[in-house]
Amino acid sequence: MKIHRGRIAQHKHDQHLREYLKQNLNELIQQKELIIDGKVKTQIATLDLPTLKFAEEAQYLAQGAGSAGSGTGAGAGGGAGDDRVQALGGLLGGDHHGKELRVELDFDEFVKLAQEVLLDELQLPTFHEPARQGEVESQDIPELDDLDRIGIRADLNLEETMIQSLFRNARERGTLDYDVDIQQDAWYFVEDPTTFQNNRSVEVYVLDVSGSMRGEYLSLVRKTIFILWHYLERRYPTNLRRYVVFQDVAEEKTRDEFFCVESSGGTHISTGFEKAIELLEGAREYDKFLFMFTDGETSSGDFDLAKKRFEEARGAFDLVIYCHVNPGGRGIGGFSEYVQETAKAQEGAAFANLMDLETIRGAMKDFLAFFDAQSKRRVSETVRR
Amino acid sequence: MIQEYQPVIRELEGLAHDRGLAFDPVVFQITDSDEIAQVASMGLPNRFIHWYWGGTYKELVLQQTKEVFSILELVLNTNPSHAFLRSTNTYLQNVLVIAHVFGHADFFANNHWYRKSNKNMLNLAEQHARLIRCYEAQYGRDRVEKLLDALLTVATSVNAFERSPQEQRKRLIYYLEERAPLEEFERVLLEAIREEAEYFDIIQRTHIINEGWATFVEAELLNRLLSAKEWASISTQLCNRPAPYTIGYTLFAHVRDQDGFRRALELRQFYEDVSLIDTALTEELVRRLDIFVYDAKEKQKSYDLQKVKEMLIAQKLFKGEPRIEVDPASQGRDLLLAHLDEDRKLEPKRLGLFLRSVYSLWRNPVKLRANGKVYTYDRRGLSST
């Protein structure tokens, strides 16, 4: 067997990198622009041996970028008016002046790493297997009501398979025969109802970008989202994520934009709820979640409308999780207090006062409890049917 | 697959000999991009595995997917020379590469400075790798890895061109080899790393002349082998290469045009980067190559021959690294290092890490005079006065 030295070295390098990033996670996660071109740019210089280097210098050797092609053409070059300059140090086997290389990570890689660190810090359970695995084994599963389902392909959708076989025979032979060819026709499966209803989700993340959206605030929001993802991804292999930011008005953003937001304007929480509900239009997924992150009080005059929209959201979503981002640990009042009270008294809403890692941990416990309750409810509903 | 190229290899070899080139046998093999990235990152195919190569490997694998920056070939300074051709190259690309490889092989065999280089490096590197694996088993991976990190850090101070033992002793690695209180296995590893570093030091100090010569030979041979139309398309590609290739090539082409091919042969035999630049770079070539000293503050370019030359030579003399020497005042347990270009600032963050590495080998306080201060690293850590 050939030893792949390159990959082993890369594995070792990545282990170092992970350790290094773990130590700097808190700083990284607070970057205002977390994703640029799909990558998380860090302030960490490429992992290097600690050799000595010159500090940034005023003068260095360079070449006109794009001048390489003009090397031999008689009288070519010049380029004095060309503003593009490429530092030559590194290319000549020398030092790297100019822009220093920074470690870049794919966003997914970064999230995975962050989850690893956070779950460890919070001492929350890490799921390695999909959570629904246990449910399938439950004794409470009702008899399946499809046609005969035994053997290796117990979940084969016989009806659909036979229809497809009929079509194929009509097409290929010109006869309407139910002559099933397993290789060609048996591609249709009945989803287990207990998992079918349970493996898709729509998640709408709504972020208040008014005022003090920076530093510790951002850190708490992002940490909460990353941990939520850890659980949601294992629960729902297929999920649709939508992102909304709001201040006076709300607008949908892409994932990358959501993680690179500028703060400004007032706080109209109603607009956030309204936009989130709007995004549900046409969504047929079974579980619909709304995660609202806000740090402040809704603007005067918006309170009643916010209440109304919140109630509408509770009706439209399976669960509305309202995260009051509160790094300073101040008291809760106004609209947040209203949501907190509603969440205590009624179903379909949860309230989290995010002050630090410990409160994120508490919020996750509440959130996981929702799944527990939901699973029990579903099983009993199915049995009743 | 390589059989396909045997006729053209023979033809190019014949043409090379006709032009007065002479070289050791070259073993060509066709391999994939991944293996090329692997060898390029480690320097040799069977070198010991270290995390530092892993970072380079990762970058090269990415680069290999981008046509513009990908590596088409690799050739080792060994006897016989081993040349790796990338399997995804087109036939014409490989013809170019083969001619280029003969240029390198001729340089390895004839350049004065390469006489000192170890042509048995493949075996030696294998031996070192096995030794390191044994030590890892005996002394633990962590300990050996930390030692290798420190050794690779100080290994940049090698100078394979330096013949005077007195001058050599001013360089950190040789000083440590002679006087550091190392255990036997540590000393063996220091020698191994120093030997490998010297092998690569020669390559680094002849980067421009070696690549320039190989490109020049490539052009000379292909000009004779290809049809006028093929040659026309290839000759533009020759100029579209990284800086060391174009600078070196332009200098050789200029020398040939001015003083004839014989003179070019002489340069490749007796010169290295510094002497080539000093002798052959002219004001006109500086303009043609569009190389300049760039003032980042003023955003101004200077094409002044003297300034460009000085900066190029300074980069090549010290491989772009700060000139650190062991101060003659170092006595007994005191190790005092001095940065010779006191006007140039060193990156402060790296100072402590560098001194910690040196301290791990010297095991006694280490001082460094730089940035207008004296930095000390001892058992309490870093301090400065």
Strongest mean pLDDT among A203-217, A256-270, B266-280: B266-280
Note the pLDDT tens digit of each residue in A274-328: 999 999 887 766 688 999 999 867 777 888 899 999 999 999 998 999 999 988 8
Average model confidence (pLDDT) for chain B? 91
At B232 the pLDDT is 80
Q: Determine, for residues A5 and B289 on separate chains, whether the beta-carbon distance falls below 8 Å.
A: no
Distance from CA of A97 to the nearest CA of B (A): 10
Q: Determine, for residues B246 and A10 on separate chains, whether the beta-carbon distance falls below 8 Å.
A: no
- Cα A282 to chain centroid, rounded: 21
At A126 the pLDDT is 61
Distance from CA of B79 to the nearest CA of A (A): 23
Mean pLDDT, residues B267-280 taken together: 95
Given a cut of 60, whether residue A91 has pLDDT beyond it is no
At A261 the pLDDT is 77
- Where residue B376 falls among pLDDT bands split at 50, 70, 90? very high
Peptide bond into B25 cis (omega under 30): no
- Where residue A81 falls among pLDDT bands split at 50, 70, 90? very low
Distance from CA of A199 to the nearest CA of B (A): 35
Given a cut of 80, whether residue A374 has pLDDT beyond it is no
Place of tokens 């309204």: A274
B215 touches chain A (CB under 8 A): no
Mean pLDDT, residues B22-37 taken together: 92
Given a cut of 90, whether residue A45 has pLDDT beyond it is no
At B335 the pLDDT is 96
CA torsion sign for B87, B90, B94, B100 is negative
Given a cut of 80, whether residue A237 has pLDDT beyond it is no
- Cβ neighbours of B347 in A, within 8 Å: 52-55
% residues pLDDT > 90 (chain A): 19
Average model confidence (pLDDT) for chain A? 75
At A382 the pLDDT is 58
pTM, two decimal places = 0.72
Q: In this complex, which of A7, A55, A93 lies closest to B346 when CB atoms are compared?
A: A55
Q: Is the model more confident about B167 or about A67?
A: B167
- Where residue A234 falls among pLDDT bands split at 50, 70, 90? confident
CATH topology for A198-384 is Rossmann fold (3.40.50)
Q: Determine, for residues B55 and A95 on separate chains, whether the beta-carbon distance falls below 8 Å.
A: no
At B360 the pLDDT is 97
Distance from CA of A233 to the nearest CA of B (A): 28
Q: How far is CA B225 from CA A8, A209, B91, in A?
A: 42, 67, 14
Mean pLDDT, residues B348-354 taken together: 90
Tell me which residue of B132, B39, B145 sits closest to B83, measured CA to CA: B39
CA distance linking residue A156 with residue B251, whole number of Å: 73
Strongest mean pLDDT among A313-317, A367-371, B151-155: B151-155
At A189 the pLDDT is 65
What are the boundaries of each domain within chain B?
A: 1-110, 121-205, 270-317, 324-384
Distance from CA of B348 to the nearest CA of A (A): 8
Q: Determine, for residues B324 and A6 on separate chains, whether the beta-carbon distance falls below 8 Å.
A: no
Q: Determine, for residues B321 and A70 on separate chains, whether the beta-carbon distance falls below 8 Å.
A: no
CA distance linking residue A360 with residue A355, whole number of Å: 8
Q: In this complex, which of B54, B236, B246 lies closest to A9 when CB atoms are compared?
A: B54
CA distance linking residue A32 with residue A258, whole number of Å: 10
Q: Determine, for residues A63 and B292 on separate chains, whether the beta-carbon distance falls below 8 Å.
A: yes
B295-327 in b/e form (b: 16+ CB < 10 A) is ebeeeebbbeeeebbebbbebbbbbbbbbbbbb
At A85 the pLDDT is 62
- In sequence order, what are the residues at sequence separation of 6 or more whose Cβ sits closer than 8 angstroms to the Cβ of residue A36? A256, A260
Q: In this complex, which of A12, A16, A63 lies closest to B243 when CB atoms are compared?
A: A63
Q: Determine, for residues A50 and B50 on separate chains, whether the beta-carbon distance falls below 8 Å.
A: no
Mean pLDDT, residues B158-181 taken together: 93
Alpha helix (H) residue ranges in B19-140? 33-42, 51-64, 91-110, 121-139
Q: In this complex, which of B287, B294, B311 lies closest to A85 when CB atoms are compared?
A: B294
Note the pLDDT tens digit of each residue in B67-89: 655 677 789 999 999 999 988 88
CA distance linking residue B136 with residue B141, whole number of Å: 5
Distance from CA of A98 to the nearest CA of B (A): 9
Q: Which of A47-51, A184-188, A303-307 is predicted least confidently?
A: A184-188
Given a cut of 60, whether residue A152 has pLDDT beyond it is no
% residues pLDDT > 70 (chain A): 71
- Where residue A46 falls among pLDDT bands split at 50, 70, 90? low
Contacts across the A-B interface (CB distance below 8 Å):
207
Note the pLDDT tens digit of each residue in B317-331: 888 889 999 999 888
- Where residue B187 falls among pLDDT bands split at 50, 70, 90? very high
At B184 the pLDDT is 97
At B176 the pLDDT is 97
Given a cut of 50, whether residue A201 has pLDDT beyond it is yes
Note the pLDDT tens digit of each residue in B192-233: 999 999 999 999 999 999 999 999 999 999 988 888 888 887
- Cβ neighbours of A78 in B, within 8 Å: 287, 290
Distance from CA of B7 to the nearest CA of A (A): 30
Tell me which residue of A65, A40, A283 sits closest to B289, measured CA to CA: A65
Mean pLDDT, residues B240-253 taken together: 88
CA distance linking residue A267 with residue B84, whole number of Å: 63
At B253 the pLDDT is 94
Mean pLDDT, residues A320-341 taken together: 87
Distance from CA of A230 to the nearest CA of B (A): 27
At B107 the pLDDT is 97
CA angle A225, A253, A296 (to 5 degrees): 60
CB contacts under 8 A, B 65-124 vs A, are none
At A99 the pLDDT is 34
Distance from CA of A6 to the nearest CA of B (A): 5
% residues pLDDT > 70 (chain B): 98
At A151 the pLDDT is 45
Q: Is the model more confident about A111 or about A181?
A: A111
- Where residue A142 falls among pLDDT bands split at 50, 70, 90? very low
At B175 the pLDDT is 96
- Cβ neighbours of A92 in B, within 8 Å: 207-208, 243-244, 312, 315-316, 320
Tell me which residue of B364, B381, B339, B360 sits closest to B149, measured CA to CA: B360
Q: In 3-state terms, what secondary structure has residue B79?
A: coil
Q: Is the model more confident about A333 or about B265?
A: B265
Q: Determine, for residues B289 and A54 on separate chains, whether the beta-carbon distance falls below 8 Å.
A: no
At A141 the pLDDT is 41
B320 touches chain A (CB under 8 A): yes
CB contacts under 8 A, B 290-319 vs A, are 290-297, 299, 301, 303, 308, 311-312, 315-316, 319
- Cβ neighbours of A55 in B, within 8 Å: 344-348
B366 touches chain A (CB under 8 A): no
Q: Determine, for residues A47 and B52 on separate chains, whether the beta-carbon distance falls below 8 Å.
A: yes
CA distance linking residue B351 with residue B108, whole number of Å: 36
At A190 the pLDDT is 63
Closest chain B residue to A64, measured at CA: B290
Q: Determine, for residues B55 and A47 on separate chains, whether the beta-carbon distance falls below 8 Å.
A: yes
Q: What is the DSSP string of B299-352?
A: TEEE--HHHHHHHHHHHHHTTTS--EEE-TT--TT-EEEEES-TTSPB-HHHHH
Q: In 3-state terms, what secondary structure has residue A46?
A: coil
Contact B76, B24 (CB under 8 A): no
B242 touches chain A (CB under 8 A): yes
At A150 the pLDDT is 41
Q: Is the model more confident about B243 or about A246?
A: A246
At A110 the pLDDT is 85
Amino acid occupying residue B207? H
CA angle A220, A225, A229 (to 5 degrees): 150
